[in-house]
Structures are given as C-alpha cells and as structure tokens.
Amino acid sequence: MTDSNGGKTSESIFTADNAAQPSCCEGRGDIVNAVIPEGTEEIGENAFKECARLESAVIPEGVRLIGPYAFFNCAALKSAALPEGLEEIGQAAFAGCKSLTDIAVPRSAAVIGCGAFMNSGLKRAVLAEGLKSIETMAFGGCGDLAAIELPGSLSELGDWAFRTCRSLKNVEIPAGVKVLAEGVFEECTGLESVLLPEGLQRIGEDAFAGCINLKRINIPAGVKRIGKKAFKGCVGLDSITVPDGLESIGAEVFCGCSALNSIVWRDRGYASADEFADAAAGLNLNVCAVLAAEDMAYADSDIISAAIPDGIERIGESAFSDCGGLESITVPDSVKTVGNSAFSGCRALKSISIPDSVASIGLFAFKDCGSLKSVTLPDSVTSVGQYAFAGCSGLESITFRGQRYTDKDALNKAVKESGVSKAYIWF
C-alpha cells in the first residue's frame, strides 16, 4: 500500500521511498518504524522532523549524508543505527531526540555537524577512528551523557561541543586537537578529570567554566593562550600549574575558584603583570612569584604567600605593595635589590629573611608592614632608603650583621616613624 506522500506502509512499517526529499515526512504522527530503502544516498533536510511517534529508523549502507534537522525533535526515537559509508551527520539531525540513548558513529563519518545531537537523551556515544570534526554544540545539552571516547583522528572540537553534559566524568582530548574552543566543556558539572594533549596550543574562553567537580588539570607545555573565564567557577580546583611559554592569559580565568590556593607560574616571560592580576582577582593564593622583578607585579592582589624563584636579581618597585593578606615571602640568594615600596602595605607580613646577596633596599620598601616584629639585614647591605620601615608599628628591632653599613643618618631615616625601639649593629 502507498500513502499520499509516496511511502509504502504496512501495519507498523513505513518505507520512506522519498527520504531524500526535504520535509518528506515532516510532522507526521502516524509513523512508528521507518525503513529507508537501499539506494538512498542522503536523508533530506527536515525529512522526519517532529515525527512525534517515530521509534526507529533503519538507515541502509549507501547513505552518505543525514541532512540538517532530518530527525529533529523526534522525541520517541529510540533506535537509529548509523551505517558504514555515512560521511556527515548534518546540523541538528538528531537534536531533541530525548529517547535516543546510544549512538555509534562509523569510521566513514568525518563530521558531526552543529548541534547534531543537542539536547538528546544520549547516555553513551561511540565515535570511531576517522572522525575529524565535532562542530558547535554537537552534544551540547546531553545531560545524561556519561561516557564518550574521542578518537585519535579528531582534530577539531567546536564551541560548546559538550556544554552542559552534566553526567560526563572523564575526558581525554586526542593529540590532534590544537585548540579547545569557547565553552567546550562549560557547565559540565560532573566532570572530574581531563587529560589534555601535549600539542595543545590554546584553551578558549569559558572552556571549563562551571565545572564544579574538576579538582586538578595539567596544562601542557605547549599552551600559549588561555582565554578569559576559562576556569571560572571551578570551585573544586585546588591547584594549577601554568606552563613555560604562556603568552597570554585572560581576565577572570580563575574567578570563583574558591578552593584554589596555589598557582605555579613556571616562566617569567609568559604574560604581563596586569594579566596575572586580572586572572587571579579575588583569590587567596600561594604563588611562585616569577614576575617579582616587574614593577607592581602583584600589587594589591590577594596572595597569602609567595616564593620568588632563584635567578631573579631585583624585586621591582611596589611589586607586592598593598598585598594586605601576604603572610610569608621567600627571597632567593640571587636577589640584589629590593625596590622602592616593594612590600609597602603588606600588613600581615610577620617576618622576612633577607639573603646575603642583597645590597640595596629602596625607599618605603617595608612601609606600613604593621605585623613585622624584627628584621635582620646581612653584611651585604650597603644602602637602605628613607622611610624603609616607616609605619611598621610592631617592629621591635633591626639587626645589622656587618661592618659595611655605617651611615647612621640614613639608618635613622630608614626607621623613622616606625615602632622600632632598638637597632642592633653587629661589627
């Protein structure tokens, strides 16, 4: 028997002879099981769109393209086996298929189109080697998708490709992917671990924003750019290491990462001090202070402890000024100069060990460090700037351990307006 649209029907089987035609069966409510005949090379745009009762579709080998919106919003669709020979799954082809829980994409398929499975009921997706591109929002909104293995052939992950896949727990990104696009795993609230490839070059804006269960992530050495808000709201993230060679980091990258207490920057040449401040705004951090030589590098930031790497010879002017929560600082033997106002306004700083390499301490270097109780200056120090310890209301003593610093007038100016009660000079 043939229906008015050219398809052959039986009691429960509909043979879609005209499946290649756009909108051939769009909106029909009488199709439950559809069979697309041999010889069909493509399923047309909107072909079965919003067929509310459609439960299964038999797609033969030879079909190369499933067109845009072909099965869009077929909420009852449970089964659609994709044949070998299929090359492309079109835009929103299976979007909104709430009953579709499993899909296997064959080796022949190179492209999963924009929104292809968006807001579907997928729990598991098997992607065979041969797949090259997962486009924008391809699996976005698949809240039940718990497992997916990305093939080694993959080279492109589009914007928001897995956005709000809240059941996804573990992901390994293949070596061929060089860019993690904008929002690719945004709001994947169940995501616990991500393995990034060594060849990765860029992490896009909002890439992992809102991944509240992500605790650690290893950023590979080849990454040059991290987009703004890339890890925003990752409240479980407690430490992160930024690699050598990073050239740019966006604003609010770690905004809302309330558990993050350690950021390690491994290379001084990565980005500007302003970028660091914007990226780490609002965080109480322990930092590897690779930018300490730059003026105002960490000024007015919320770090609580810092370690300056060996090799840095100068602590820049106002490098840590107004870091009101800074409690401890480690200064290496390579430092020769502490710049003007370097630690001014560090109200919580209780102690500092100045190494034997330091020759000069600048103006206002420790001004208003109210918790500082004692300071020992080594034999190497030959110059202390005016008001270096002004406003250090808790300072009780300064000890000079050598003979070379003999300018008593300069000393008096250095401790002027401090709380120091006694200065010991060792000869």
**Residue 341 sits in a domain of what CATH number?**
3.80.10.10
Query: Could you tell me which of 87, 33, 92, 36 has the C-alpha nearest to residue 59?
Result: 36
The Cα–Cα gap between 199 and 220 comes to 8
- Residue 33 is assigned to a structural domain of this protein: no
Taking the model in full, what pTM does it have?
Answer: 0.73
Mean pLDDT of 200-228: 93
How far is the CA of 101 from the CAs of 32, 145, 268, 412, in angstroms? 17, 8, 49, 78
How far is the CA of 279 from the CAs of 12, 62, 249, 298, in angstroms? 60, 51, 7, 12
The Cα–Cα gap between 81 and 105 comes to 9
Distance between terminal CA atoms of the chain? 112
pLDDT (0 to 100) of residue 131: 98
DSSP reduced 3-state for 410: helix
- Give 407's pLDDT tier (boundaries 50, 70, 90): low
- Residue 117 is assigned to a structural domain of this protein: no
pLDDT (0 to 100) of residue 11: 43
- Give 277's pLDDT tier (boundaries 50, 70, 90): low
- Residue 36 is assigned to a structural domain of this protein: no
By DSSP bridging, strand 133-134 and strand 156-157 are parallel
pLDDT above 50 for 346: yes
Query: Could you tell me which of 370, 366, 327 has the C-alpha nearest to residue 347?
Result: 370
Specify the amino acid at residue 411.
L
pLDDT (0 to 100) of residue 225: 92
Lowest mean pLDDT among 194-203, 291-300, 340-349, 368-377: 291-300
Q: How much of the chain exceeds pLDDT 70, in percent? A: 85
Q: And the tokens for 57?
A: 């579709």
pLDDT (0 to 100) of residue 372: 92
- Residue 404 is assigned to a structural domain of this protein: yes
Q: And the tokens for 17?
A: 């002879």
pLDDT (0 to 100) of residue 223: 93
pLDDT (0 to 100) of residue 5: 47
Alpha helix ranges (H) inside 188-287: 273-279
- Give 270's pLDDT tier (boundaries 50, 70, 90): very low
- Residue 208 is assigned to a structural domain of this protein: no
Degrees to nearest 5, angle at CA 417 with 374 and 341: 70
How far is the CA of 177 from the CAs of 87, 91, 136, 147, in angstroms? 20, 21, 15, 19
pLDDT above 90 for 413: no
Mean pLDDT of 12-27: 88
Residues 6+ apart with CB under 8 A from 150: 127, 134, 171, 172, 173, 174, 177
What DSSP element (H or E) covers 409? helix 408-415
Lowest mean pLDDT among 102-106, 272-276, 288-292: 272-276
Q: Which position has the token pair 């120090």?
A: 381
Domain that residue 319 falls in: 284-427
Mean pLDDT of 53-73: 97
Q: Please count the structural domains in the chain.
A: 1
- Residue 387 is assigned to a structural domain of this protein: yes
pLDDT above 60 for 421: no
pLDDT (0 to 100) of residue 282: 60
Q: Name the average pLDDT for the chain.
A: 87
- Residue 318 is assigned to a structural domain of this protein: yes
- Residue 185 is assigned to a structural domain of this protein: no
